[in-house]
Structure 1
Amino acid sequence: MSLFLTTMGRYVDLQESETRLLASFEQIPADVKKHERLWRARAKVGELFILQEGWACTIRPTPDGEQQVIELQLPGDIIGLREFTFMRHATEASMITPGRIQPFPHENIVDIIAASTPLAIALFAYISRQEALLTERMLITFHHSARARVLHFMLETFYRLKKVQHVELASFEFPISQRLLGNILGLTPVHINRILKTLELDRVLKKHRHHVEVYNPTRLIAEAELDGDYLSDEVNGLKERLVLLRH
């Protein structure tokens, strides 16, 4: 099963007809390089991309000429879905690591919604969870210390990865540079460096170049103060409603 089918299947139970429909939209994946740009800000919205392998991000230019990371994209994510109804992209999208992407013309979203109510619900569920990630990051910025924000983001990323691949908290992939991590969390690279050194000295975790090694999972979870409800795949009883609609 492709990652797109896996992602949609997290929210609704896919029937064979829905699996075939999604498969019919799949195109040949393309390999992409580290830092490769998928689109520029203000470019016309056309193809979205399903991230099959690798990590990516969307970035929004700021008025002062800087760039702010908006979303971190992991395998299985649909890059650009939040902007598919706009004429032009408000963000720029680029790869963080080498990877593999599957083109997905944005008009296919309309065809999916028209053809299947369950798949429409799955798309809405996916979009709402992307919004929840942004909302949670804003809230922890106001209510958590810088150290807790770093730990919260790392733990959140671990749980997101766990949805699509086998990972262990003791050591998990995290190919994000200190500069990029600071950009995501609104902290300077110097501040990030200081926090990571302290976390290593305190024997909580160590940030390597491409992964995180966790020494004390209990302390990590406690300090991160992550309430995982916003990461849940449950759709508030709608699956039962969809079963009734199908019959």
Structure 2
Amino acid sequence: MASFEQEARPAERNQRLWRPRDKVGDLYVLHSGWACTTRSSKDGDRQIIDLLLPGEIIGIQEFTFLQHNTEASMVTRGLIQPFPHENIVDIVAASTPLAIALFAKISRQEALLTERLLVTLHRSARSQVLHFVIETFLRLQKVKNVDLASFEFPVSQRLLGDILGLSPVHINRTLKTLEQDSLLKKYRDHIEVHDPERLFEEADFDDQYLSDEMNGLRTRLANISSP
């Protein structure tokens, strides 16, 4: 992996990494900061496809494409490390464990997006916001020490609405209600949770889709290799 890595470079808030129909070139390892990928409709409506957190790879879902289908940009300032997409093929050929790790990453991203779609389609706005807050906290917890009582959340109300498919007015109303109910309070760059038990109870959160376990794959590999 080290032989493929390029020098990390700073990226500014709102900096665009690529546009739709740009040729797929570098993927990026997000060393620090937050980023997102988006799609826009012909009417100009924007939908956030993915919110990327520190340690994640920006663009892994599109590395087999000739052109990007999404737009990628930074949500905050950060540090990104370019990773030429053609090197993915070399990695897959050179290392089975790394190939499995990449496959697992793509599978988990698919599970996350599927869960978010189901929540968006079948939950109230209040439940959607609570579910996303927990999801983001648990994803952050995988890469650094965070405290549920107060943790980094540099997601604007507009961006949150684009992620959940809700209007800014609806998001604002929901957040005000959650604050009045002494459940949580959103600040510009972080969230304070005042009642964790109620948070998880109201969100009806099942974290199985965020699991890092690979027992299913290990079992299948063991069956293949056994005489």
The TM-score range, normalised by the shorter chain, is over 0.9
Percent identical residues: 66
Q: What is the distance in 2 between the residues matched to 1:148 and 1:81?
A: 29
CA deviations on 1:123-166 (whole Å, 9 max, x unpaired) are 01000111111101110112211100000001000000000011
Describe how 1:1-247 pairs up with structure 2 within 5 A: 22-239=1-218, 241=221
- TM-fit CA distance, 1:46: 0.6
Partner SS, residue 24 of structure 1: coil
- TM-fit CA distance, 1:237: 4.1
RMSD over aligned Cα, in angstroms?
Answer: 1.3
- TM-fit CA distance, 1:67: 1.8
Q: What is the distance in 2 between the residues matched to 1:182 and 1:59?
A: 13
Q: What is the distance in 2 between the residues matched to 1:176 and 1:82?
A: 22
Q: Which runs of 5+ in 2 are unaligned?
A: none
CA deviations on 1:61-109 (whole Å, 9 max, x unpaired) are 2121222110000011110010000010000000000000000000111
Partner SS, residue 23 of structure 1: coil
TM-score by length of 1: 0.88
Tell me the amino acid that sits aligned with residue 229 of structure 1: Q
Partner SS, residue 93 of structure 1: strand
Q: Which runs of 5+ in 1 are unaligned?
A: 1-21
CA deviations on 1:146-198 (whole Å, 9 max, x unpaired) are 10000000100000000001101111100000010001001000000000000
- TM-fit CA distance, 1:118: 1.3
TM-score by length of 2: 0.95
Partner SS, residue 68 of structure 2: coil
Q: What is the distance in 1 between the residues matched to 2:216 and 2:22?
A: 39
Q: What is the distance in 1 between the residues matched to 2:217 and 2:124?
A: 37
